[in-house]
A and B are shown apart, each in its own frame.
Chain A
Amino acid sequence: MSSRDAILGRIRRSLGASGVDATRLAAVRHRLTETPVNVVPARGQLPAAERVELFVRKASDIFATVARIDHRDDIPAAVADYLRGRNLPQAIRRGEDPRLAGLPWQREAQLAVAIGPSAGQDLAGLSYADAGVAETGTVVLTSGVNNPTTLNFLPDHHIVVVDASTVAGDYETVWADLRRRFGAGAMPRTVNLVTGPSRSADIEETLLLGAHGPRSLHILVVG
């Protein structure tokens, strides 16, 4: 007997249950197709403007920095400002996201923009988040050519753009949106929920930022 059958057999014997019991199958099917929502904290259930304010506050609490800009066209200038403020070279790497591709990058003549996944040589990466989550100041990023996952982890500094209109109160809203875009029960290869810059407290429980991932996380909220 394969280990698979042995394990499933032992489970069913321990539970005194069968794998073809209609009631059990129906209970499982119901949960997987209806995806019932459990307890959702009230804190994120706010009108749009306050929701975005909560997102900004929560992200700042966990050591992300946040700048608010009015239009996507302001992104290149905001990126250049941030790099200058941190004394970093004017260079950034991004994916092929059309929301980033169509911007007036030529306005920042000094800024070198590379495109594609990171091989570990970049100081700063730029990504477009699918969503923000107000309850914890989290950004949600999905893999693909538009926003390669390596940009979320290899560069020392990560700049993430979030549209204010995509800032949700809670994770459940984000899941519903993922199902709408990718289909029920399907996911992109990688979904990253990022809450602040990388950190470690493994040496004498001293909290330090910039463990293996980015040392800093800068969020640009558009709109």
Chain B
Amino acid sequence: MSGSLTSSSFPKNASAALANPPLLKAIAHIEETLVSGRRRAVDALPEFEALRDAGRDIKAHTLKHIDLYLETFERKVVEAGGFVHWAADAAEANRIILEICQATGAHRVTKGKSMITEEVGLNAFLKENGITPVETDLGEYIIQLRGETPSHIIAPAVHVNKEQVAADFRRAHADLDPTRNLDEPVSLLAEARGVLRERFLSADVGITGANFLVAETGSTVIVTNEGNGDLTQILPKTHIVLASIEKVVPTLEDVATIMRLLARSATGQEMSVYTTFSTGPRRADDPDGPEAFHVVLLDNGRSAMLGSEFEDMLRCIRCGACINHCPVYRSIGGHAYGSVYPGPMGSVLTPSLQGLEKSAHLANASTLCGRCESVCPMRIPLPKMLRHWREKEFERHLTPKKARFGLAAWRFLAARPRLYGVATRLAAWSLARLAGKDGALGQVPLAGGWTRWRDLPAPEGGTFRTEWAKRGRK
């Protein structure tokens, strides 16, 4: 079960994923949907590159002044009648949210889609304490029924097919007619809508994340397509927002700029269906909306990233474009990473959040091809940061022995040019002899990880150095 995967077992997880054809088929859709959708949306907006520069600059400015913007945001929330809580880590965030739920005597809690509640493990914590939160985003609802974690930050159930969803619904909605037809996605959606409508209307507390915290107005902003986030935050008596500190932006103008990047990069929409600004609890003459409004600001390792070589990662708006365009993600899916955040953004972020010891393999889950950086709306230099982690991994002796031995041997030879020439000539000669008639190597000593999935072409002719030397003589 994916819930038990960890980043430290990444190599094993990845092998299992490569041997899972339905998973690979599901992920293959990403090319026609998300990747080509983004391309179309970007091509239709001449200002897209200028917006990327502006988005990067907004976040860079904000991060340099983030303490002051957070203080302003807090003041504005309080002015609007809301409460702000500060949580240093996951445990504190969970405790604060539980206390709010208990103080309101809540039994039923609905949740909008939120990666940050996945990061802190809120659902498991609430459940241990007698409160069952109901996920209301369709994808999140499906994986909650399956006892899984999201495999993608914007398409959490991308790894599940409709037959599996139908089976899960039959199991979970046992009170419905067993002969009903659940063959098509449309009937599955209709059933989820009906079941969850009941939950929305009877919830005591609604918990959402936030895409933005606006310092100027004290507003929290969610961006969704289904409308579940809105039903989560307007129907219950209490609305709790859990957001990490780097979500703060100065003004509404800054939200507008990043909004223009977000949906286009994420799904290829020009704008998501619902962008909602919530400011405090309902006002005296409001006929609906929550009576209490709480914002929990989470640090969980982010303040330590400021001023470090990983500061740029705090510009991330969680659009998922780097994931959709990553050849490694597209080969193994999200669960293999064993962390809440998969793909390139996850491989950079996870070691900062949970420590390099537990996630040293992630920095190697990349070919450093650069596609992620080329599509990142916030121009985050992901490959550069992955290299930083690899360096740290090597320095701290977290690299596997075989790789360390290989690199050390290479260093020894590279510093001795004559010996290097002899060794590489010998290697080329023996690889050519190992190869079959088609010049392909099905197996290479020490490189089983490569040759299990593809052949390695055998070297033809001499080494680069001998060829170079020959040409130089001509």
Contacts and interface: CB of A to CB of B under 8 A. Distances in A.
Interface in B279-299: 279-283, 285-289, 297, 299
Contacts of A109: none
A11 B303 contact: yes
A212 B283 contact: no
A56 to B, nearest CB: 15
Nearest to A199: B225
Interface stretch (B228-236, B330-338, B347-355): B228-236
Interface in B321-363: none
B245 A7 contact: yes
A114 interface: no
A100 B190 CA distance: 32
Given A31-B250, A193-B275, A15 B306 contact: yes
A117 B67 CA distance: 39
Nearest to B293: A189
Contacts of B67: 8, 11-12, 15, 17, 19
A106 interface: no
Contacts of A58: 270
A27 B251 contact: no
A19 B185 contact: no
A88 interface: no
A42 B47 contact: yes
B404 interface: no
B438 interface: no
A138 B86 CA distance: 34
A6 B409 CA distance: 46
Interface in A74-110: 95
B54 A39 contact: yes
A175 B196 contact: no
B148 interface: no
Contacts of B72: 28, 32
Contacts of A195: 269-275
B276 A192 contact: yes
Contact of A211 (B33, B138, B252, B307): B138
A114 to B, nearest CB: 13
A212 B231 CA distance: 8
Interface stretch (B13-21, B214-222, B375-383, B390-398): B214-222
A32 B228 contact: no
B259 A210 contact: no
A112 interface: no
Nearest to A171: B256
Contacts of B54: 38-39
Contacts of B51: 38-39
Residue among A7, A31, A138, A190 with most chain B CB within 10 A: A190
Contacts of A117: 287-288
B161 to A, nearest CB: 6
Contacts of B251: 31-32, 35-36
Given A8-B71, A31-B250, A38-B253, A14 B165 contact: no
Given A28-B250, A210-B189, A212-B231, A187 B68 contact: no
A181 interface: no
A186 B185 contact: no
A138 B119 CA distance: 32
Nearest to B63: A15
Interface in A35-57: 35-43
A14 B50 contact: no
A85 B230 CA distance: 28
B459 interface: no
A9 to B, nearest CB: 9
A16 B308 CA distance: 11
A212 to B, nearest CB: 4
Contacts of B200: 212
Contacts of A202: 137-139, 142, 155-157, 226
B1 interface: no
Contacts of B12: none
14 contacts: A3-B88, A8-B71, A11-B67, A15-B67, A35-B251, A148-B288, A187-B80, A188-B283, A189-B286, A190-B277, A194-B274, A195-B275, A198-B225, A213-B230
Interface of B: 26, 29-30, 33-34, 45-47, 50-51, 53-54, 58, 61, 64-72, 76, 80, 86-88, 92, 136-139, 142, 155-158, 160-162, 165, 185-186, 188-189, 193, 196-197, 200-201, 215-219, 225-228, 230-231, 234-235, 245, 250-254, 256-257, 259-260, 267, 269-283, 285-289, 297, 299, 303-308
Given A189-B286, A192-B275, 16 more contacts: A3-B92, A8-B71, A14-B308, A16-B307, A40-B47, A62-B271, A138-B271, A149-B289, A154-B231, A187-B218, A189-B283, A198-B227, A204-B26, A204-B162, A212-B227, A213-B231
9 smallest CB-CB distances across A and B, nearest first, come from A213-B227, A211-B226, A202-B139, A14-B306, A10-B303, A4-B86, A203-B185, A193-B275, A202-B138
